[in-house]
Structure 1
Amino acid sequence: MTIKRFGIHGGVGTGGQHLPFARAVEAGGWLYVSGQTPMRDGEVVEGGVIEQSRIAIENCLEIMQEAGYGLQDVVHVKVILTDARYFQSFNKVFKEVFGEHPPARICAVADLVVDCKVEVDVTCYKGA
């Protein structure tokens, strides 16, 4: 089985630090996208949970597209919110993106290393 890593050279976090992990890894038809926060050009985009959720999901979708995967390939999503009160707002954005064919999902509340409201990662699958 071949393992392909995406974005291992140049991933940038807050303050311009180089991130020591791949943006995504593909193996055996599976694509694992690293957790994405609402960042643009290495800086967190300020805003409410709806705006931050859209950006975090868009960041996942951009990485998926780079790897040749689309929404139809998403099988599981992990979500971390920093406040349980964000749950309904996040669900609104999630439904806008995934529509009537949502993937499996887990949503938890925890502190994040980055000062934002949400982090999202996705797992995709494309058969041979």
Structure 2
Amino acid sequence: MSKKAQVLFKTLSQTVLVTACALGFTMATHAAPVGATTATTTKSGPVFLGEGGDYPFSEAVRVGNTLYLSGQIGMREGRLVKGGIKSETKQTLDNINATLLTYGYQKSDIVKCMAMLVDMDDFDDFNDVYRTEMTRPYPTRSAFGVSELAAGASVEIECMAVK
């Protein structure tokens, strides 16, 4: 092979190699990841559910398959139950359960709770009732001491549930 032919062959080989690499890179950037399946996603706006009665809030909001509940206190028939933290906690969790059921969820769908206690000395009594009413695996939870709650309640709990 002549020197001129060798230079031409080398140039042509490099051009083919660069073109093949560029084509491969372009295809790779537009290809689905290995093992990926085609998924259809839809954006679901919030659906506001129930009303707070005389108060400016919704009982719950559903976004996709997640239900966000407003805080609940131990009210029954328009009054705060008597009997202290244990009675209030039980009623609060019953109210949460009733709200969940109203919108097609159940306690086992709860993934997160936030508890607010007026007296952190009630924490152990609160946990005794919570442990009895909720089942394993327990949802994640935060607990805060607060200075006051609506209607003179000792405890308020809000939750998120996912189906």
Give the structure-1-normalised TM-score.
0.87
| CA-to-aligned-CA distance 1:41-82 (integer Å, 9 cap, x gap) | 322122210010000111111111101111121000000010
Aligned residue runs from structure 1 range 79-98, under 5 A: 79-98=115-134
User: Which moves more between the two structures, 73-82 or 36-45?
Assistant: 36-45
Matched, 1:51 2:87: yes
User: Which moves more between the two structures, 51-60 or 110-119?
Assistant: 110-119
> In the alignment, which residue of structure 2 is the partner of 1:15?
none
Matched, 1:125 2:162: yes
Tell me which amino acid in the other structure corresponds to 1:106: S
Cα distance, 1:19 vs structure 2: 1.6
Unaligned runs of 5+ in 1: 13-17
Hey, what's the Cα distance between the residues in 1 that align with 2:162 and 2:135? 18
> In the alignment, which residue of structure 1 is the partner of 2:69?
33
Hey, what's the Cα distance between the residues in 2 that align with 1:66 and 1:113? 23
> In the alignment, which residue of structure 1 is the partner of 2:50?
7
Tell me which amino acid in the other structure corresponds to 1:34: S
Determine which structure has more spread, i.e. the larger CA radius of gyration.
2
Unaligned runs of 5+ in 2: 1-43
Aligned residue runs from structure 1 range 73-112, under 5 A: 73-110=109-146, 111-112=148-149
Q: Secondary structure of 1:22's match?
A: coil
Give the structure-2-normalised TM-score.
0.69
Cα distance, 1:99 vs structure 2: 2.5
> In the alignment, which residue of structure 1 is the partner of 2:8?
none
Please tell me whether the aligned partners of residues 108 and 135 of structure 2 are also in contact (alpha carbons under 8 angstroms): no
Higher strand share: 1
Hey, what's the Cα distance between the residues in 2 that align with 1:99 and 1:40? 23
RMSD: 1.2
Hey, what's the Cα distance between the residues in 2 that align with 1:71 and 1:42? 23
| CA-to-aligned-CA distance 1:12-58 (integer Å, 9 cap, x gap) | 4xxxxx12111111011110010001112322122210010000111
Higher helix share: 2
Equivalent residue pairs, number: 119
